[in-house]
Amino acid sequence: MTTYIIRRILLVPLLLFGVTILIFGMLQFLQPAERAALYIRDIPKNPEALESVIRNYGLDQPLYVQYWNWLVGRKNLTTGEISGGILRGDFGYSRVGSEPVIDMIKNRFPATLELALWAFLPIIGVGVWLGVESATHHNKFIDQFARVFSIIGYSFPVFVFGLLALMLFYGKLQWFPPGRFSNWVLAEINTGTFTQYTKIMTLDALLNWRLDIFWDAIRHLILPVITLSYVSWASFLRVTRSSMLESLHQDYMVTAKAKGLPERDAVRRHALPNALIPVVTLAGFTVVMLLGGVVITETIFNFPGIGSAAAEAAAQLDVVTVLGFALFNGFILIFANLVSDILYAVVDPRVRLSSL
Amino acid sequence: MNGNKKTLLEVKNLETSFSTWEGMVHAVNGVSFKLSEGETLGIVGESGCGKSVTVLSLLRLIQSPPGKIVNGTAFFNGKDLMKMTEKELNEVRGSQISLIFQDPMTFFNPVLTIGEQVMEPLKLHLGVSEADAQARAIEILNMVGISNPEERLKDYPYQFSGGMRQRAMIAMALICSPQILIADEPTTALDVTVQAQIVDLVKKLRDELGMSIIWITHDLGIVAGLVDRVAVMYAGYIVETADVMELYKNPRHPYTIGLLGSLPRLDETERRKLASIDGIPPVLFRSASTCPFAPRCPYRIDRCFNENPMLRNVGDGHEIACWVDVVNHKEQV
Ligand SMILES: Nc1ncnc2c1ncn2[C@@H]1O[C@H](COP(=O)(O)OP(=O)(O)OP(=O)(O)O)[C@@H](O)[C@H]1O
Ligand SMILES: [Mg+2]
């Protein structure tokens, strides 16, 4: 187990290198003038000033020099100031956000993280539960129901679902508003009567012991969480159902019943642990999807996470910002991959103990 | 050797079928047999003749649907296994009647340790503590010849060799000291040398623990020294049954004669063909009013296609289901 984990961790720098090369490669499609946004705020309109920026930041240098600069930053030849350098946490300057890309990520990520935290459990819990139930009641009512449910989930576009939910629960019923919090909460934040320790609203509300604000945050989370769950349930249901059906027909289930285990216990103790193995991989992907910012859902519900931020940047052709987010996403992907590899080993001893 | 011993299990007219797309598969067609205390019964027959379905039906482990036990009784200690509630049956399974299977790889759960699986019946049936279960598991693993059992308890099935896995499977089956051990071709998936070791092991364990055994095989040779009596199955019927030595010396059913490779009038090629036909014999779909073996039988007569012979005694506990006295090659009534 330890060797397995060490191997996986050793792989991380390699993957990080791959991601940076990929993003850097994409940056090369930009004009040097646009790439200047990696180092400075305002790109000068005047061609001579621009020329000096390009020279100052080495944007005309060979690629490997530029890559290095991009990684560690570049000293301005005239002022001696260092700017840029993703390893220094400088992802460039965002035109759309009028702030450094990294600050934009820092400001927006807590919202995405909060949404992910609240969505993850219902997605996995309900999806896996439905999958198990429909496999153990193969072709019975719940299985048929789950089948219809997953067909709808796959074929009914998420933006239609989201908009309908918004129309009904906000437009008509006024139950669940869009956005992240109500104006009165914003006022409290601005006047300092509510302290944002983590920028995760529900958590901060508890830390401030303000149940009214907690409830306000929940009301804003419900629709996006349901919309996100709705897209993912279908895939969790399907994966769980089919791997469960497969497990139920394995020989070891005959052994389990021959031991005298009641059906339910045989399913729980013997089929389920095997059936969950592919679910772990899917869960890993889902985490990446959720943390990478869910563009459509965040946009529909006006939820200020990194998904909607990336969408705004893309709409305004702010490529440096978009690629900054892509880089951040790449890091999350690598991290989530590591976690799901480790989880994979926890649930499957063959993986854990093989020499891979 | 039996007769004076108490009957432990009495199976009568067991009938199991599967509904499939191609029609009803009559896998077991009215099988009857008895098993006495301490006795070892061998069930032989080629692949697909219904051996596994017979023993799985006994503990009602047939997957249903598509399978269904259509008929029959199986009295075990005075109670009919076919009529027991699921709860009563679960108390018998794994505790009084245990099963071991052909492929110890697929019949072990890959994600649980050998120890967890071996101890499971004990915890389930006797509710013993973890520590006691472990002590007993170590003891029984020792008994089946697994060295260093304290360590090996923590291993997973795929870390065991095939022979070791089968030993562990035997340990798992015997941990509650059952009265009957049912072994469904436990050596088929193993190397020849390992096969003999497993047979010897079971023989030794039987002498120590005194359980009755039903041993399924399609290789009579390997279990000759283990079984007391043999039932030969063909297409879901028992076609011949006799004490093992009698059956060897004096096989009376044409199928058994072919199986033992001693059919006097058949030439080499035909003999080999007979012994190696596998897959679903088409006869499983056929009507019950012909002898199932008739199409392949060198001794067949018209009657074989009109009437299915019942088992009849031909002396000294030797029974055959055949219209023809093969030894003298004439029809019998
Ligand atoms: N789940 C099932 N669905 C349909 N038919 C089945 C099923 N299980 C068994 N059968 C049929 O029942 C018949 C008897 O099968 P069984 O497994 O008892 O054979 P066997 O004598 O144990 O053969 P082998 O030596 O290969 O183990 C076979 O013809 C098979 O096709
Ligand atoms: Mg079989």
Closest-CA residue to B176 (of B207, B110, B132): B132
Contact A247, A234 (CB under 8 A): no
Element (H, E) at B133: helix B130-143
- B26 in contact with ligand 1, CB cutoff 6 A: no
Same domain (yes/no): A62, A119: no
What tokens were used for B178? Answer: 């059952």
Distance B216 CA to ligand 2 centre (A): 8
Closest residue in B to A277 (Cα) is B111
AA identity, residue B23: G
Q: What is the pLDDT of residue A34?
A: 78
CA distance B119 to B154: 12
* Among A63, A91, A119, residue at a domain's last position: A91
Do A350 and B156 count as a contact with CB atoms less than 8 A apart? yes
Shared domain check, A71 and A132: no
Mean pLDDT split into 10-residue runs, chain B, 333 residues: 74 91 85 93 89 94 88 92 93 94 89 94 91 93 91 92 91 93 89 87 91 89 86 92 89 84 46 44 61 82 84 86 77 62
CA B227 – CA B217 distance, rounded (Å): 11
B195 closest CA partner among B175, B225, B174, B172: B225
Q: Residue B31 forms beta bridges with which residues? A: B14
Residues paired with residue B29 on neighbouring β-strands, in sequence order: B15
The four Cα atoms A124, A125, A131, A137 give a dihedral, to 10 degrees, of 180
Top residue of B53, B88, B109, B125 to mutate, by most chain A CBs within 10 Å, is B109
Ligand 1 proximity of B206 Cβ (cutoff 6 Å) = no
Q: Are B119 and B175 in contact (CB under 8 A)?
A: yes
Mean pLDDT on A63-74: 85
**Number of domains chain A contains:** 2
Ligand 1 centroid – CA B49 distance (Å): 7
How many whole angstroms separate alpha carbon A353 and alpha carbon A356? Answer: 8
Based on the fold, state whether residues A127 and A242 are members of the same structural domain: yes
Residue A160 CB partners (closer than 8 Å, separation 6+)? none
Query: What residue type is B171 in one-letter code?
Result: A
- Whether the pLDDT of residue A238 is over 50: the answer is yes
Annotated domain spans of chain B:
7-96+178-331
Last residue of a domain, one of A57, A91, A125: A91
The third-level CATH classification (topology) of the domain covering B7-96+178-331 is Rossmann fold (3.40.50)
Q: Quick count: other Cβ atoms within 10 Å of Cβ B47?
A: 15
Q: From the centroid of its chain, how far is CA B24?
A: 23
The CA distance from B91 to the nearest CA of chain A, in Å, is 6
Residue whose CA lies nearest to ligand 1 atom number 18: B50
* Strand B229-234 with B7-20, pairing: unpaired
DSSP A54-118: HHHTTTTS-HHHHHHHHHH-EE-TTT--EE--GGGT---EETTTTEEHHHHHHHHHHHHHHHHHH
What does residue A345 show for φ and ψ, rounded to 5 degrees? -70, -30
Contact B109 A347 (CB under 8 A): no
Place of tokens 């090996």: B152
Give which of B202, B136, B189 is closest to B163, Cα–Cα: B189
CB atoms near residue A356 (< 10 Å) = 11
Question: Atom 9 in ligand 1: which residue has the minimum CA distance?
Answer: B53
- Cβ neighbors of A63 (< 8 A, separation 6 or more) are A28
pLDDT of A104 > 60? The answer is yes
Residues A176-181, mean pLDDT to the nearest whole number: 86
User: Are the beta carbons of A274 and B124 separated by less than 8 Å?
Assistant: no
Q: What is the DSSP letter of B283?
A: G
Res B285: pLDDT:
58
Residue B102 Cα to ligand 2 midpoint, Å, equals 7
Partners of A347 on chain B (C-beta within 8 Å) are 111
DSSP for A326-338, written as a single string:
HHHHHHHHHHHHH
CB proximity under 8 Å: A 250-289 to B: 250-252, 254-262, 269-270, 273-274, 277
Which tens digit of pLDDT belongs to each residue from A115-149?
999 999 999 999 999 999 999 998 889 999 988 88
In this complex, the residue of A249, A270, A347 whose CB is nearest that of residue B109 is A270
Lowest mean pLDDT among A38-42, A245-249, A322-326: A38-42
User: What does the pLDDT read at residue B292?
Assistant: 84
Whether omega for the bond prior to residue B66 falls within 30 degrees of 0, making it cis, is: yes
Q: Please report which helix (H) or strand (E) contains residue B223, including its range.
A: helix B220-223
Q: Assess A140–B contact: CB distance below 8 Å, yes or no.
A: no
Domain containing residue A177? 99-354
If asked whether residues A294 and A211 sit together in one domain, one would say: yes
Residues A325 and A225 in one domain: yes
Q: Are residues A213 and A139 both part of a single domain?
A: yes
Note the pLDDT of residue B270. Answer: 46
Q: What is the Cβ-side half-sphere exposure of residue A40, based on CA atoms within 13 angstroms?
A: 22
How many inter-chain contacts (A to B, CB under 8 Å) are there?
76
A251 with B101: Cβ contact below 8 A: yes
Contact B217, B55 (CB under 8 A): no
Q: A161 and A134, same structural domain?
A: yes
CB contact under 8 A, B125 and A261: no
Strand partners, B241: B231, B319
Which residue matches tokens 């679902």? Answer: A161
Check A258 against B59: CB less than 8 A apart. yes
**Residues B189 and B177: beta-carbon distance below 8 Å:** no
By the 8 A CB rule, do A5 and A342 touch? yes
Tell me: do A32 and A111 sit in the same domain.
no
CA of B325 to the centre of ligand 1 (A): 30
Ligand 1 nearest-atom number relative to CA B51: 21
List of long-range contacts for A339-343, beta carbons under 8 Å, 24+ apart: A339/A284, A339/A287, A340/A280, A340/A281, A340/A283, A340/A284, A340/A285, A340/A287, A341/A8, A342/A5, A342/A8, A343/A280, A343/A283, A343/A284
Looking at residue A251, its pLDDT comes to: 93
Task: Tell which of A34, A68, A91 closes a domain.
Answer: A91
Task: Tell me how far the alpha carbon of residue A256 lies from the centroid of ligand 2, in angstroms.
Answer: 18
B160 secondary structure, DSSP code: S
Q: Please check whether residues A176 and A296 belong to one and the same domain.
A: yes
Peptide bond into B65 cis (omega under 30): yes
Chain B residues touching residue A243 (CB < 8 angstroms): none
> Which tokens in the block code for residue B20?
């499939």
pLDDT at A192: 84
Question: By alpha-carbon position, which residue is closest to atom 20 of ligand 1?
Answer: B48
Ligand 1 and B23: CB distance under 6 A: no
Helices assigned H by DSSP within chain A? 2-27, 32-35, 47-56, 63-72, 101-136, 141-155, 158-166, 183-191, 201-207, 211-248, 251-258, 263-266, 272-275, 277-291, 295-300, 306-315, 319-347, 349-353
Distance CA(A242)–CA(A244), nearest Å, equals 5
CATH number, domain of A175, equals 1.10.3720.10
Residue A84 CB-half CA count within 13 A: 23
How do beta strands B237-243 and B312-313 pair? unpaired
pLDDT tens-digit map of B248-288 = 888 888 888 888 774 443 344 444 444 444 434 545 555 66
Nearest CA to B62 among B78, B46, B74? B74
pTM to 2 decimal places: 0.81
Distances, alpha carbon A86 to alpha carbons A53, A60, A292, A304, A328, in Å: 19, 19, 18, 24, 10
Which residue is closest in CA terms to ligand 1's atom 5? B18
Task: Verify whether the Cβ–Cβ distance B106 to A252 is below 8 Å.
Answer: yes
Cβ separation A260–B90 shorter than 8 A: yes
Residue A275 token pair: 């059936």
Q: What residues are neighbours of ligand 2 (ion), with CB under 5 Å?
A: B 52
Helix axis angle, A101-136 to A211-248, nearest 10°: 50
Q: What is the atom index within ligand 1 of the atom nearest the CA of B53? A: 18
CA distance B297 to B295: 6
Task: Kindly state the tokens that stand for B315.
Answer: 């002396």
Res. A244: pLDDT tops 90: yes
Helix (DSSP H) and strand (DSSP E) numbers for chain B: 11, 14
Let me know whether A210 and A329 are in one domain: yes
Residue with tokens 């520590």: B131
Q: Do A260 and B92 touch (CB under 8 A)?
A: yes
Same domain, A266 and A220: yes
C-alpha A21 to ligand 1 mean position (Å)? 57
Centre of ligand 1 to C-alpha A241, Å, is 26
Same-domain status, A269 and A306: yes
What is the DSSP code (8-state) at residue B93?
A: B
A174 pLDDT band (50/70/90 cuts)? confident
Contact B188 CB / ligand 1 (< 6 Å) = no
